Copies of this chain bind each other. A is one copy, B any other.
Amino acid sequence: MSTTLHDVARLAGVSIKTVSNVINSYPHIRPATRERVERAIAELGYTPNLTARNLRSGRTGAITLALPYLGLSYFAELAAAVIAEAEKLSLVVLVEQTGGDRDRELDLLKSPRLKLTDGLIFSPLGMSQDDIDALTVSYPLVLLGERIFNAPVDHITMRNIDAARAATDYLLGLGRRRIAVVGAHEGEVFGSAGLRLRGYREALERAGIAYDPNLVSYATLWHRSNGARSMRELLDRGIPFDAVFGLNDTLALGAMRALQEAGRRVPDDILVMGFDNLDEAGYSIPSLTTVDPGQPWIARTAVQTLHRRITGHSSLPPVAAQFAEFEIVARESAPAG
């Protein structure tokens, strides 16, 4: 087994309390004693057993981040940002993948595994507003995303409706009138798909353009291949359109790919707009005009909020959701004016 406080204490000829004091940099220790202890620690290569410390303190210094799948770039970039922010607060991050499956999400929320960490940043995809009660849990929880609103937990999210409306306005401002949508979810009201489609419709309405359901195509998982498939479906309908709004970047990139296969040129024939501002959006061919939804802010705010809950610095009841600022990033797939 590894060395313990007792081993160090014995070697240094002091009690374990003194060793503990040295480790936790308790101020009032005689320099000679301190040095003796430090030499013993070095000699034995002692490192404290964090599990024991955690049991004693009731805290682990770790948080859980639960998201659908790291293979989806949006979530990979989210995880990267969360881990980086957590490190600034000396927290480590345990990452769970739910696959966006409702049952696995519900299971996770009551999993004993969560006892291994101090709190949870939770980005559900399969759960919906009906599952709101499952978010009433006994541990610190920060909710991400737009599947569930007004739950009694801290909620950090983005301005989906406003941002999608701004994205649509942008295309309208470039003179487009028949804007196709890729990646909608049948009958969804909340959720990224539902909210972004609503923003799209609001923009059309304000511009006095009728909503044409034939311009909307569906895709369950927001994956490149589904963006391509969804676009092929649109093309097969034979209905003319002059722009495409991919409800996220991956869909938009897949759609561009399908457009190109079909001989349509971007941006000459069709403008394409995405949503997420993934790193990759700046380097596709053509580069992708998109919405930057403020992910770094979301990651930072989520980690800080959770940390305040864990440390008890905030016992305020969670209020309404906090929203990140967004911004349109104009690139080649739909160049500005």
Chain A residues near B (Cβ < 8 Å): 1-2, 45, 47-52, 54-55, 58, 60-62, 69-71, 73, 76-77, 79-80, 83-84, 87, 92-97, 110, 112-113, 115-116, 138, 224-225, 228, 253-254, 256-257, 260, 279-280, 282-285, 287
Inside 8 A of A110's CB, which chain B residues have their CB?
47
**Would you give 14 A-B contacts (Cβ < 8 Å), ordered by A?**
A47-B110, A47-B112, A47-B115, A48-B115, A51-B116, A61-B113, A61-B116, A70-B83, A71-B77, A84-B97, A224-B279, A225-B282, A225-B283, A285-B285
> Assuming the A-B contacts A55-B52, A257-B285, are A2 and B138 also in contact, with contact meaning beta carbons closer than 8 angstroms in the complex?
yes
Inside 8 A of A71's CB, which chain B residues have their CB?
76-77, 80, 279
Inside 8 A of A55's CB, which chain B residues have their CB?
49, 51-52, 55
Docked pose: A50 CA to B117 CA in angstroms: 9
**Contact assessment for A283 and B254 in the assembled complex, using a CB-CB cutoff below 8 Å:** yes
Docked pose: A209 CA to B121 CA in angstroms: 55
Q: Which of B54, B69, B73, B116 contacts A92 (CB 8 A)?
A: B116
**Contact assessment for A50 and B283 in the assembled complex, using a CB-CB cutoff below 8 Å:** no
Residue of B nearest to A94 (CB): B94
Q: Which of A58, A71, A93 has the most CB of B within 10 A?
A: A71
**Contact assessment for A115 and B50 in the assembled complex, using a CB-CB cutoff below 8 Å:** yes
**Contact assessment for A93 and B92 in the assembled complex, using a CB-CB cutoff below 8 Å:** no
Q: Which of B47, B51, B80 contacts A54 (CB 8 A)?
A: B51
Residue of B nearest to A79 (CB): B70
Docked pose: A40 CA to B87 CA in angstroms: 40
Inside 8 A of A83's CB, which chain B residues have their CB?
70, 95-97
The quantity of this chain's copies bound in the complex is 2
A183 to chain B, nearest CB (A): 14
> Assuming the A-B contacts A70-B77, A79-B95, A83-B95, are A224 and B280 also in contact, with contact meaning beta carbons closer than 8 angstroms in the complex?
yes
Docked pose: A15 CA to B147 CA in angstroms: 44
Residue of B nearest to A70 (CB): B80
A294 to chain B, nearest CB (A): 16
Docked pose: A55 CA to B58 CA in angstroms: 13
> Assuming the A-B contacts A51-B116, A285-B285, are A70 and B76 also in contact, with contact meaning beta carbons closer than 8 angstroms in the complex?
yes
Which 5 pairs from chain A and chain B are nearest by CB? A76-B76, A70-B80, A224-B283, A50-B115, A71-B80
Inside 8 A of A48's CB, which chain B residues have their CB?
112, 115
> Assuming the A-B contacts A79-B70, A282-B224, are A94 and B97 also in contact, with contact meaning beta carbons closer than 8 angstroms in the complex?
no
Q: Which of A48, A73, A116, A228 has the most CB of B within 10 A?
A: A116
> Assuming the A-B contacts A49-B115, A92-B96, A97-B80, are A285 and B284 also in contact, with contact meaning beta carbons closer than 8 angstroms in the complex?
yes
**Contact assessment for B279 and A51 in the assembled complex, using a CB-CB cutoff below 8 Å:** no
**Contact assessment for B224 and A50 in the assembled complex, using a CB-CB cutoff below 8 Å:** no
Inside 8 A of A283's CB, which chain B residues have their CB?
224-225, 228, 253-254, 257
Docked pose: A69 CA to B79 CA in angstroms: 10
Docked pose: A197 CA to B179 CA in angstroms: 47
**Contact assessment for A80 and B84 in the assembled complex, using a CB-CB cutoff below 8 Å:** no
